[in-house]
Structure 1
Amino acid sequence: MTDKSAKAYTHQSNRERPRKAAEKKVVYKSVLENPFRIRWPSIPINLQNIIFSHLTSLLDGAAAYHETQSKASRKRKRGWQNEGSKKKSKNSETDEDVPMEDGETGRSKPTTNAPDDSAAIQTKPVALNHTTCGINAVTKRLEAQVRQARRNVIVTTDPEGVKQVPITLVFVCRADVDPSLLIDHFPPLVAACNSVQSNLRQQVKLVPVPKGSEDVLAAKLGIKRVSVIALDAQLPGIEEFYTRLESVPALTAPWLMMEAKAAQLVPTHVKQVKTSAPRDMKAAKEARSQGRSTAKAKKRAPPKITVISS
């Protein structure tokens, strides 16, 4: 716990009732910091911009691909709806035999008017095959990666038992996510992945990107919103990221290491929390007790009945 910085919260509590300033006094309470807390990595803003620029260049063509896929899907859906309506109308009428090319007769087959869009669909960019987008999707991949690393190796022919390509880089739009509670689990989760990975080359690195990156990534991918993007180790051009991020340390959790190591003592870090307390504690307790008694008496009192005379 070498970082001694602490946030100062000045907003009023939602549970605190407004009181007169003369009834309260300022007090300081000592709080021990959680030794199991894992902090976000500190990356200079210029390096964030360079990394983000390279990331967006890899996603070129993704928006056009998703747009053509969406248009083709809508056209197929309309074709299926038209085919279904034609089938319903034909079933209500009498089936007639029609002559076929070989001279035989057979029932007429419904024709599909859905256009063939296979030629119009663009080729899927290579980067999309090695990219996972979204908070939930990336979280599931990292959790599966931890379970796979801790699981005993069993030889099997089951396709579900095939090991997935591990994630190696996780980009988070930390400055754009509100509330931050949605992404606070990524540092411990990434540290858990690195703690069970002995190969330093395969460790996961968590990279915050500059403010405003969320809208840029959404436009690049052609989707409404994206806050987290993960890249796997087989992405072409991943070495460029490794070279740029050599100075960024990989997050680890020593208490999750699979190999036993010598115990390391964490320096004690005591924070002072500024709060308030009643000047007369005895009077405050009596007032609180009186308020509770009054509230109970109101609940026990029978409801008042109002008689309206005509």
Structure 2
Amino acid sequence: MTAARVHNASSNRAKPALERKDVFKSVLDSPFRISWPSIPMSVQTTTLDLILEMLGNVAEYRSIRKRAHKGPDVSNKKRKIGEDASAVVGDSSQTDAPPPLENDNDRPAILNHISFGINQVSKRLDAQIRLVRKVTSSSSVGVISIHPVLIDHFPHQIAAYNAGKPEQPLKMIYLPAGAEARLAVAMGVRRIAVLALDVDAPGLDKFEKVMNAVYPITAPWLIAALSPAPRQLIPTHVKQMRTTAPKDMKLAKLMRAQGKAAARKMRKEKAEQGKKEKEEVEKKKNKTALVSCVSAYTVRSSDPGTRCAGKTAVEDYLVSKEFERVRIRLDAEQLSDTSSDVLDDAYEDQVASRHLSFLSLGPTSSTPASARKTRSFASPDALLDYVTRNWRRDWVTVDLTTREAIEMFALRPFVLVLSIDAPLLDRFNRFCARFAACAGTRQLVLRLPRRYTQVSLEDFVREDDYVRFGSDAMQDLVNIRVSNSFREVAALHAHLDEVNPLDPGHLRPNWDTYFMKLASLASQRSNCMKRRVGAVIVRENRVVATGYNGTPRGLTNCNEGGCARCNSNSDAQSECVCLHAEENALLEAGRERVGAGSVLYCNTCPCLTCTIKIIQTGVKAVVYNLSYKVDEASARLFAEAGVELRRFQPVKRT
């Protein structure tokens, strides 16, 4: 077998001559690397001429068959990767050649004994290596360590085959420059990088003199592995490798640094984008699954809650945010004439819809606008069971009107209770306006229950007092409180955008909110007469220590007269014996437990004395809630020491 090597492989680092210069680098020559054989130019030229003579009219034959073949031309690049290598050994025909026609007597015999193309020749060599080395499977060629430069692996494959000591060893001859184009023309293909001939190819006897001048490629370390001969040391050599380098090395380093900076910036932007996408996914996971708009509470069937606060407007707002309405069907007793004396919102929607249709002379609808596309349930238990099984979807209801129902739903971590209220006189005026609008359309309603009659301001106030101050008041169960004193619905919606009921922080506090609440809770233990201050030191989102301000252990509490300065009007700090909350927490933790990356949460901005101690203990960030008289001075010290100081931004709930 013979192979052709071409000299047109250019380096990926090739640059214009004006930009780069030739340099020599000392490299360690691997003893396992098998170099290309040294072939005289006369042998190369003679071999090329003999191959061209052997190919003869192959190009003409292939051209005729391509014109006669009507199917698509399948190139080497589209060859099936998983092709069995054993099939390659038995069939040396090329897949890019057109299939032979019936009664094809003009097919050149050489086509049955020739292979060309890097992939095809490599597969045949691999298959032949496996055949001659079945008994020496423990020995292998380290091709993986060789740089995959197109055809640089062929010497290793041929040496691996020859190491098996076959009857006829493989020989390789690389051809002179320009051989690739001439062989491609002779074969009628676009290009040929490697060409292999079988030992029984017709006309191969003409290569006898050429073959005798070429020695087979061998590898001493492979032969030693296959024979019982004693092992010997294979020496290594240091050689000078010729390469290129930038002429202006300083400019090249600058450009390389700029490229690295641009790459880092791109990676950072991608990371931030991925973080934002992840946060969006987390928000979607933790988003509120059900919002109960509590503005009208019905503690008993005859005692309704506050009316005309705007819960329908809030419900419509949430529906515009892709929430789905859910309803609880009322029993017959709740729809009786004696259940209430105040107009309820469900009936308002029905009457308003009919009134609008009457005024516009359009067709009336039997279904209120707010009730369309609404799921209904027979009881709060049925609704809770359904939304629990479908908690990833967003639901909104205004029908949880008892404390028992609200408490049952509030146990779920995905339920948010929103209270919508308005000034009493505003709600009464809205009620009167709606009653007047509905009274003019009574003739459109088949039956107007007695509870839809006008009520006095005194009755309206009595019902409001019962809801607010009765034994079953529910304000303690509310997550968000909205005061609807707005004159327009658009203004209410704008306020809801600021409150953002969809923020997961309303149900599950973030770390800042969580630790600030702990600091505020710690401040409740304060005994200082001046102010309540609490502090929490956190490391990797774990509480290290807490502290609050007051007199030291063993002394009388400040609020019991233990600190004369705090119990008088004196401003002398030196007379104060109270420990500050930050000091207390730092003393409790100690420098070793504070460590690197700790964060201090304090409900009040630290004073100058505490600022110095915080910096000294190695705290990296300080989060505070309330301002203090020396905020600017403390901020300057923190900035100089590299400690982050930021003010806590609580989630808006009103």
Instruction: Give yes or no for the alignment of 1:214 onto 2:180.
Output: yes
Determine which of 73, 88, 95 is the counterpart of 2:69.
73
Q: What is the one-letter code of the residue matched to 1:267?
A: P
SS in 2 for 1:216: helix
Instruction: Please name the residue that 1:47 is paired with.
Output: 43
CA–CA distance in structure 2, aligned partners of residues 12 and 211 of structure 1 = 22
Instruction: Please name the residue that 2:477 is paired with.
Output: none
Q: 1:180 to 1:226 in 2, by over 3 A?
A: farther
* Residues 285-309 of structure 1 deviation map (CA, whole Å, 9 limit, x = unaligned): xxx9xx99xx89xx69x9xxxxxxx
Q: What is the one-letter code of the residue matched to 2:220?
A: P
Aligned-pair identity (%)? 39
CA–CA distance in structure 2, aligned partners of residues 240 and 206 of structure 1 = 16
Instruction: Give yes or no for the alignment of 1:245 onto 2:211.
Output: yes
CA–CA distance in structure 1, aligned partners of residues 62 and 14 of structure 2 = 46
SS in 2 for 1:250: coil
Alpha-carbon distance, 1:242 to partner: 2.9
Q: What is the one-letter code of the residue matched to 2:153?
A: H
Instruction: Please name the residue that 2:233 is paired with.
Output: 265
Alpha-carbon distance, 1:212 to partner: 0.5
Q: 1:57 to 1:267 in 2, by over 3 A?
A: same
CA–CA distance in structure 2, aligned partners of residues 243 and 273 of structure 1 = 35
Determine which of 181, 190, 194 is the counterpart of 2:162.
194
Determine which of 60, 68, 82 is the counterpart of 2:56.
60
SS in 2 for 1:207: coil
Q: 1:49 to 1:260 in 2, by over 3 A?
A: same
Q: Which has the larger radius of gyration?
A: 2
Instruction: Give yes or no for the alignment of 1:141 onto 2:124.
Output: yes
Q: What is the one-letter code of the residue matched to 1:73?
A: H
Alpha-carbon distance, 1:260 to partner: 2.3
SS in 2 for 1:208: coil
Q: Structure 1-normalised TM-score? A: 0.54
Using CA pairs under 8 Å that are at least 6 residues apart, name the structure with larger relative contact order, 1 or 2: 1
Instruction: Tell me if structure 2 keeps the 8 A contact 1:218–1:225.
Output: yes
Q: What is the one-letter code of the residue matched to 1:244?
A: V
CA–CA distance in structure 2, aligned partners of residues 223 and 273 of structure 1 = 36
CA–CA distance in structure 2, aligned partners of residues 133 and 204 of structure 1 = 16
* Residues 46-66 of structure 1 deviation map (CA, whole Å, 9 limit, x = unaligned): 211111101110000111111
CA–CA distance in structure 2, aligned partners of residues 197 and 259 of structure 1 = 10
Instruction: Please name the residue that 2:134 is paired with.
Output: 151
Instruction: Tell me if structure 1 keeps the 8 A contact 2:159–2:218.
Output: yes
Q: What is the one-letter code of the residue matched to 1:65?
A: Y
Alpha-carbon distance, 1:264 to partner: 3.2
How do residues 156-305 of structure 1 correspond to structure 2 at under 5 angstroms? 181-199=149-167, 202-257=168-223, 258-271=226-239
Instruction: Please name the residue that 1:284 is paired with.
Output: none
CA–CA distance in structure 1, aligned partners of residues 150 and 48 of structure 2 = 21
CA–CA distance in structure 2, aligned partners of residues 203 and 13 of structure 1 = 37
Alpha-carbon distance, 1:71 to partner: 1.4
* Residues 226-268 of structure 1 deviation map (CA, whole Å, 9 limit, x = unaligned): 1111011111222221321212111012222322223233333
Q: 1:182 to 1:51 in 2, by over 3 A?
A: same
Q: Structure 2-normalised TM-score? A: 0.27
Q: What is the one-letter code of the residue matched to 1:128?
A: L
CA–CA distance in structure 1, aligned partners of residues 40 and 46 of structure 2 = 10
Q: Which runs of 5+ in 1 are unaligned?
A: 1-10, 19-27, 78-116, 153-178, 277-287, 303-310
Instruction: Please name the residue that 2:345 is paired with.
Output: none
Instruction: Give yes or no for the alignment of 1:123 onto 2:109.
Output: no
CA–CA distance in structure 2, aligned partners of residues 180 and 212 of structure 1 = 23
Instruction: Give yes or no for the alignment of 1:38 onto 2:4.
Output: no
Q: What is the one-letter code of the residue matched to 2:38?
A: S
CA–CA distance in structure 2, aligned partners of residues 13 and 59 of structure 1 = 35
Q: 1:50 to 1:13 in 2, by over 3 A?
A: closer
Alpha-carbon distance, 1:215 to partner: 0.9
Instruction: Tell me if structure 1 keeps the 8 A contact 2:132–2:166.
Output: no
Root-mean-square deviation (Å): 3.8
Q: 1:259 to 1:198 in 2, by over 3 A?
A: farther
